[in-house]
Amino acid sequence: MQAFLDSLIRGWGHDPQTWVWTQLIYVAFMGLFSFAVINFAAVTAGIFSWAERRVAGRMQSRVGPNRAGPGGFYQWIADAVKLLTKEDLVPTEADQFLFRIAPYFMMVGFACVFVALPFSHRLVIAEMNVGVFYIIAVTALIVVGIIMSGWSSNSKWSLFGAIRSAAQIISYEIPAGMALMIPVLLSGTLSTQGIIRAQGPWPWEWYIFHDPASFAAFFIYFISALAEGNRTPFDLPEAESELVSGYNTEYSGMRFSYFFLVEWGNMWVMSALATTMFLGGWQVPFLPVTDAADKIAMLSGGWTVLAELASIAIFTFKTLFFVFIVMWLRWTLPRIRVDQMMNMCWKYLVPVSFAAVLFVAGWMLVIHAVPALDWIMRIVLTAGGAITLVMFWLRTLQNIKDTGDKFDFTSNW
């Protein structure tokens, strides 16, 4: 973004290095962009809340919200208006100050991730050299918000929900951090854009298919991200049947909505991060961008714009695909027990992620000595992945043929 603003200033006939107003222009434009990005995050979270209910309805052979607008699409706007006009209750017994500032912590921890999260080849707020590390660091602010809301509510349900949630999130931060270390090892950079540039557009160039350990790391990251986002099967903090609603029991109206805005918005963050780290991000086929040669920048005129749009589309498609998988998991798997959840983290994911990091470090030494092995491994793993996908597809078709798809798409959509 800095390069874009510099070129803008140069277009006005000033030198960004010496012009006195440069800093002001930076602040004005970046303030505008930050507002746009936060609104984008809030709107996607709203749309996901609608999409989730539709997906849930489809999976449970019912309709889901379909009254407001086409396919019920305006439902999330109706919900937002409702939440805005609801009475804001703060219990008299609660710690008033902490109760009121907890949503700010949630929102700041969520919004700051977008500084380093890319959207396309050029569209990234700041190409930080510590990108991944920074993202892991700021997401930890959400835990502070959760603990604060649970403790300040002075409700037993909130307290239990909050400490349980905090224990879960911090536990799963270890395997998630170790799994994200593997793309860093392979690419030799912490910058999110740099990691995408180190991968390529084709599946065999992605880090997920680099070696068996990075394949495992992708799933470790995905499971840990589900747990960190309090998504089913790890939604123990909100286990309605035992904890009422967890840490947000005492919240109502707009203040309550921020907890869920962050939860749904997190689906985008975790999917976009998975896409960035393991699935080649925004790389466009036939136009690979590496640190050495940027094929998109070498294009001219309208083709640049087209390639840029293609990279946005590819990144969004991959991300939305994983958002869908997250919803799919939510309506497929039952909630797991708290001791199973802790066992899974500390006794399975943490040791496996340690082993995966060591394996990748060793494998890099091996392929440095014998480069041919690198390509053999990538192609074998990609072929394995492709065969699994095809088998899955055939199985699904077979199931549909056997039981019949009874959903009526024509009416009552």
Q: Which is closer to other proteins, CB of 57 or CB of 177?
A: 177
Segment 16 to 45, residues that bind other proteins, using CB under 8 A:
26-27, 30-31, 34-35, 37-38, 42
The span from the CA of 350 to the CA of 254, in Å, is 38
Write 28-31 long-range contacts (CB < 8 A, 24+): 29/5, 30/1, 30/5, 30/125
Give, in degrees to the nearest 5, the angle at Cα 220 between 175 and 324: 125
Q: Which residue has the tokens 């086929």?
A: 285
- Specify the stretch interacting with other proteins by CB under 8 A; choose among 179-187, 282-290, 308-316, 392-400: 179-187
Residue 380 contacts other proteins per CB under 8 A: no
Mask for 347-376, x = binds other proteins (CB under 8 A)? x--xx--x--xx--xx-xx--x--------
Q: What is the nearest approach in angstroms of other proteins to the Cβ of residue 178? A: 7
Give, in degrees to the nearest 5, the angle at Cα 351 between 349 and 353: 65
Q: Which is closer to other proteins, CB of 299 or CB of 338?
A: 338
Beta bridge partners of 26: none
Neighbours of 351 (CB within 10 A): 11
Q: Which is closer to other proteins, CB of 72 or CB of 149?
A: 149
Q: What is the nearest approach in angstroms of other proteins to the Cβ of residue 384? A: 26
From the list 69, 71, 91, 212, which residue makes contact with other proteins (rule: CB under 8 A)? Answer: 91
Q: Which is closer to other proteins, CB of 90 or CB of 325?
A: 90
From the list 45, 135, 146, 166, which residue makes contact with other proteins (rule: CB under 8 A)? Answer: 166
From the list 173, 228, 263, 308, which residue makes contact with other proteins (rule: CB under 8 A)? Answer: 173
Tokens of 186: 């392979």
Segment 210 to 269, residues that bind other proteins, using CB under 8 A:
244, 249-250, 253-255, 258
The answer, yes or no, to whether the previous bond of 233 is cis (omega within 30 of 0) is: yes
Segment 282 to 341, residues that bind other proteins, using CB under 8 A:
338-339
The span from the CA of 50 to the CA of 264, in Å, is 10
Q: What is the nearest approach in angstroms of other proteins to the Cβ of residue 343? A: 7
Q: What is the nearest approach in angstroms of other proteins to the Cβ of residue 244? A: 7
Residue 128 contacts other proteins per CB under 8 A: yes
The span from the CA of 71 to the CA of 295, in Å, is 41
Q: What share of the chain is helix, strand, coil (3-state, %, to 5)?
A: 70, 0, 25
From the list 66, 154, 304, 316, which residue makes contact with other proteins (rule: CB under 8 A)? Answer: 154
Q: Which is closer to other proteins, CB of 178 or CB of 208?
A: 178
From the list 9, 45, 51, 94, which residue makes contact with other proteins (rule: CB under 8 A)? Answer: 94
The span from the CA of 241 to the CA of 224, in Å, is 24
The span from the CA of 277 to the CA of 192, in Å, is 7
Residue 49 contacts other proteins per CB under 8 A: no
Backbone angles phi, psi at 118, to 5 degrees: -80, 155
Q: Which is closer to other proteins, CB of 39 or CB of 398?
A: 39
The span from the CA of 212 to the CA of 358, in Å, is 12
Phi/psi region, residue 391 (left: phi>0; alpha: psi -120 to 50; beta: rest), is alpha
The span from the CA of 271 to the CA of 18, in Å, is 41
Residue 89 contacts other proteins per CB under 8 A: yes
Residue 132 contacts other proteins per CB under 8 A: yes
Q: Which is closer to other proteins, CB of 78 or CB of 136?
A: 136
Q: Which is closer to other proteins, CB of 127 or CB of 294?
A: 127
Q: What is the nearest approach in angstroms of other proteins to the Cβ of residue 57? A: 29
- Specify the stretch interacting with other proteins by CB under 8 A; choose among 56-64, 84-92, 220-228, 322-330: 84-92
- The four Cα atoms 391, 397, 403, 408 give a dihedral, to 10 degrees, of 140
Phi/psi region, residue 61 (left: phi>0; alpha: psi -120 to 50; beta: rest), is left
- Specify the stretch interacting with other proteins by CB under 8 A; choose among 99-107, 201-209, 225-233, 394-402: 99-107
E strand intervals along 358-410: none
Q: What is the nearest approach in angstroms of other proteins to the Cβ of residue 274? A: 18
